[in-house]
């Protein structure tokens, strides 16, 4: 009922047709301090520049949008894209993952992994893992279990996945002594997931933990009625890894710190609370978060207020 009332009162945001090959219309991520999330040059930990997030205040490192895919006009999708240090047709050396915070408390409730390999996408899938029993609010306090691939996400295709060289004429990365870039070109990794598939994964694998004494206890069924819609609020951390159970390459928005106990929010690595299209959820955020949660405990809904964020989101055309 809350979702229907909200839709009638506010009006649904306009969502145009989108594609994973789009070059415009993207909304850049801002952190919870209201600053555009950038990433230092060459700060991934394993010597694989194809897994190194790169971005500046004029060329965003991470962006998202939402709409109906050109190839699927009946279902709504969230599309994510990240800029990496080196374009390598064979792909990266590991995984590209998002930790998803569904309550606005700065804790990862679900891990979504893009298991990708190069330009063809032949082995590309979107997998999900339940977070481990812990604080899940910092690199060293976050863990997760084995990954699962929901039906329909086993193999992505050219409509839902893209790996291409950046063609904006800007090459972000370290330079040689003679001033020429070490890398020949940056890369865009883009993928899309439908609202329905993300909703199903949240209901199946997301977890909410409460600290009881010295241990964390899961609140059973906390997200069992979660609904993904145009107003659903989520925040994210993005990272790459060569291991399936660790953040061991690059954490977007911070230099190193993959073993830090400092919270994602304090590191500047956590995005602000966002709607699927990438626009910030206005305060009071709890009102809009309720539109995405039916039958969920109010303790997780009325989260602390966030600082305001800039609305002049950087576009991909920069």
In 3-state terms, what secondary structure has residue 42?
coil
**What pLDDT score does 279 carry?**
92
Smallest CA-to-CA distance from 94 within 312, 315, 301, 244 is with 244
**Structural domain includes residue 142:** yes
Q: How confident is the model at residue 43 (pLDDT cuts 50, 70, 90)?
A: confident
In 3-state terms, what secondary structure has residue 67?
strand
In 3-state terms, what secondary structure has residue 230?
coil
For residues 83 and 60, the answer to whether their CB atoms sit within 8 Å is yes
**What pLDDT score does 121 carry?**
56
Is the pLDDT assigned to residue 10 strictly greater than 60? no
Dmax (CA) for the chain in angstroms is: 63
Q: What is the mean pLDDT of residues 274-300?
A: 60
Q: Work out how many domains the chain is built from and give that number.
A: 1
DSSP codes, 87-123: --TT--SSEEEEEEESSSSS---EEEEEE--TTT-TT
For residues 98 and 115, the answer to whether their CB atoms sit within 8 Å is no
**Structural domain includes residue 253:** yes
Element (H, E) at 238: strand 235-241
The answer to whether the Cα torsion of 288, 83, 43, 57 is positive or negative is negative
Find all residues with CB under 8 Å of 184, minimum gap 6, and list them: 86, 87, 171
Assigned token pair, 4: 């229907």
Element (H, E) at 73: strand 72-84
Q: What is the mean pLDDT of residues 85-114?
A: 90
More confidently predicted of 100 and 293: 100
3-state helix, strand, coil in the chain (%, to 5): 15, 30, 60
Query: Tens digits of per-residue pLDDT, 229-269?
Result: 999 999 999 999 888 888 889 999 998 888 899 999 999 99
**What pLDDT score does 155 carry?**
83
**Structural domain includes residue 102:** yes
Q: Which domain holds residue 221?
A: 2-300
**Structural domain includes residue 116:** yes
């Amino acid at each position: 009922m809350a979702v229907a009332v909200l839709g009638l009162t506010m009006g649904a945001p306009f969502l145009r047709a989108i594609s994973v090959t789009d070059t415009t219309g993207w909304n850049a991520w801002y952190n919870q301090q209201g600053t555009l999330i950038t990433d230092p040059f060459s700060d991934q930990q394993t010597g694989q520049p194809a897994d190194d997030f790169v971005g500046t205040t004029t060329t965003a490192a991470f962006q998202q949008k939402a709409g109906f895919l050109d190839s699927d006009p009946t279902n709504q999708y969230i599309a994510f894209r990240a800029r990496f240090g080196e374009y390598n047709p064979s792909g990266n050396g590991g995984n590209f993952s998002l930790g998803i915070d569904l309550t606005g408390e700065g804790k990862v409730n679900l891990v979504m992994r893009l298991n990708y390999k190069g330009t063809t996408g032949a082995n590309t899938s979107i997998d999900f893992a339940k977070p481990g029993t812990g604080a899940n609010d910092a690199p060293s306090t976050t863990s997760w279990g084995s990954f699962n691939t929901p039906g329909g996400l086993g193999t992505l295709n050219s409509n839902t996945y893209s790996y291409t060289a950046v063609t904006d004429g800007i090459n972000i990365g370290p330079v040689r002594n003679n001033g020429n870039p070490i890398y020949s070109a940056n890369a865009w990794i883009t993928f899309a997931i439908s609202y329905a598939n993300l909703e199903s994964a949240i209901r199946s694998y997301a977890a909410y933990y409460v600290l009881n004494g010295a241990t964390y206890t899961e609140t059973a069924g906390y997200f069992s009625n979660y609904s993904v819609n145009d107003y659903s609020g989520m925040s994210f951390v993005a990272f790459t890894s060569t291991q399936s159970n660790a953040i061991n390459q690059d954490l977007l928005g911070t230099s190193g710190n993959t073993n830090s106990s400092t919270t994602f929010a304090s590191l500047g690595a956590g995005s602000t609370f966002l709607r699927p299209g990438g626009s910030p959820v206005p305060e009071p955020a709890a009102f809009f978060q309720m539109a995405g949660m039916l039958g969920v405990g109010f303790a997780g809904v009325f989260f602390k207020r966030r600082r305001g964020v800039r609305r002049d989101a950087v576009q991909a055309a920069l």
